[in-house]
Amino acid sequence: MKGAALYELALGDRTDERLRSAAINLAIAGFLIHVVACTLHGFSLLDVPGMNSFIDSYLDALYTPFSIILAYEVYELIRAIPESFSVAIGKQFEVMSLLVVRDIFKNLADVDATQGSALDSDVALIGLEALAFLILFTTALYFRSMTLNTKPSSEPSAAVVRFVDQKKTLAIVLAFVYILLAIYSFTSWSLSTVDGEGDLSRTVFFLDFFTFLILSDIVILLVSYKHITDFPQLARNTGFVLSTVTIRVGIGTPGFTGAALFILSALLAAGVLRLSLQESKGDDLPAEDASASPA
């Protein structure tokens, strides 16, 4: 199968539409099933060792649909890689904003009013995560508004066309890795849950996925050296990679520090984009994005 056909099969518009529809239907079904499980548990009609902590609050039911939506948004992030670095980074912050919201729902479900002074720490963490969500969401909107204003060249050069093809190949590889990681993470989590050691942690899947995402970003950065020669654009792409690394560290860091790292990554990426736009003097996006993006 040729590269273009394989890309269309894995990441094409038709596949995207089908997966989006499936994700929505699964999210609705998963939410209703989780609500029923919580209801049965509340009436002492359902007692599953290792699973009770996942069904002891109706807020826990929000975890299921958001996990399914997040899975689809990660797929959207992979699809954005061939468009431009800026578009992909913007999708990255859309994913992170949803991931933080999911964590907030989880933490709200875990709040126990009988814990006395410990409750203050829980509420403070939720407050910081809410602030992190606002900053991540604002950053995602900022990237979206800037990339929508991209002015592509009418006829990209042959070098840029090859660069986009290389990014499509990388996206296909990352999509394959995504499937393997999803299967591995779900299997490992299920086995841990059966053993009573399961945990609704953001490190499940996302810690490993962002490791591979960083590797793909570095590959794009190195390959872009062939097509980008001036320092501001190289520094911009390096700054984007640094923001992704910061997110990866934040995912693996619980509590206040993790939320602070998410805020830092958003501010760093937004600052880098703003400086690059200012340096380009109204050209909207640097040459690599302007020529590579179809928008």
Annotated domain spans of the chain: 84-111+118-292
Instruction: Please write the tens of the pLDDT for every residue from 228-246.
Output: 777 888 889 999 999 999 9
Predicted confidence at residue 2, as pLDDT, reads 67
Residue 115 above 50 pLDDT?
yes
Predicted confidence at residue 285, as pLDDT, reads 42
Predicted confidence at residue 233, as pLDDT, reads 84
CA distance 234 to 93: 21
CA distance 125 to 146: 31
Predicted confidence at residue 207, as pLDDT, reads 94
Predicted confidence at residue 52, as pLDDT, reads 74
Predicted confidence at residue 295, as pLDDT, reads 34
Task: Compute the average pLDDT of residues 129-155.
Answer: 85
Whether the Cβ atoms of residue 293 and residue 147 lie closer than 8 Å to each other: yes
Residue 265 above 50 pLDDT?
yes
CA distance 6 to 281: 39
CA 142 to chain centre: 16
Residue 87 above 60 pLDDT?
yes
Task: Compute the average pLDDT of residues 186-208.
Answer: 82
Predicted confidence at residue 227, as pLDDT, reads 73
CA distance 27 to 67: 8
pLDDT range class, residue 40, cuts 50, 70, 90: very high
Residue 159 above 80 pLDDT?
no
Look at residues 216, 210, 209, 207 and name the one whose alpha carbon lies nearest to residue 172. Answer: 216
Predicted confidence at residue 234, as pLDDT, reads 85
CA distance 44 to 41: 5
Whether the Cβ atoms of residue 251 and residue 116 lie closer than 8 Å to each other: no
DSSP 8-state secondary structure symbol assigned to residue 106: H
CA distance 132 to 234: 28
The identity of residue 270, as a single letter, is A
Task: Give the distance between the most distant pair of CA atoms in the chain.
Answer: 66
Q: How far is CA 5 from CA 38, 40, 173, in A?
A: 45, 48, 14
CA distance 213 to 224: 16
Predicted confidence at residue 148, as pLDDT, reads 77
The helix or strand, by DSSP H or E, that contains position 25, with its residue range, turns out to be: helix 13-42
Judged by average pLDDT, the poorest of 100-109, 216-225, 229-238 is 229-238
Residue 1 above 90 pLDDT?
no
**Residues whose CB is less than 8 angstroms from the CB of residue 91 and which lie 6 or more positions away in sequence, other chains included:** 73, 76, 77, 80, 140
CA distance 121 to 127: 10
Residue 114 above 70 pLDDT?
no
Most confident of 181-185, 186-190, 290-294: 181-185
CA–CA–CA angle 118, 265, 200 (5° rounding) = 45
**Residues whose CB is less than 8 angstroms from the CB of residue 148 and which lie 6 or more positions away in sequence, other chains included:** 295
Most confident of 177-181, 191-195, 275-279: 177-181
CA distance 46 to 58: 14
Task: Compute the average pLDDT of residues 245-269.
Answer: 96
pTM of the model: 0.89
Mean pLDDT (the chain) is 86
Residue 152 above 50 pLDDT?
yes
Predicted confidence at residue 286, as pLDDT, reads 42
**Percent of the chain residues topping a pLDDT of 90:** 56
CA distance 190 to 197: 9
Residue 283 above 70 pLDDT?
no
CA distance 127 to 169: 41
Residue 84 above 70 pLDDT?
yes
Whether the Cβ atoms of residue 189 and residue 204 lie closer than 8 Å to each other: yes
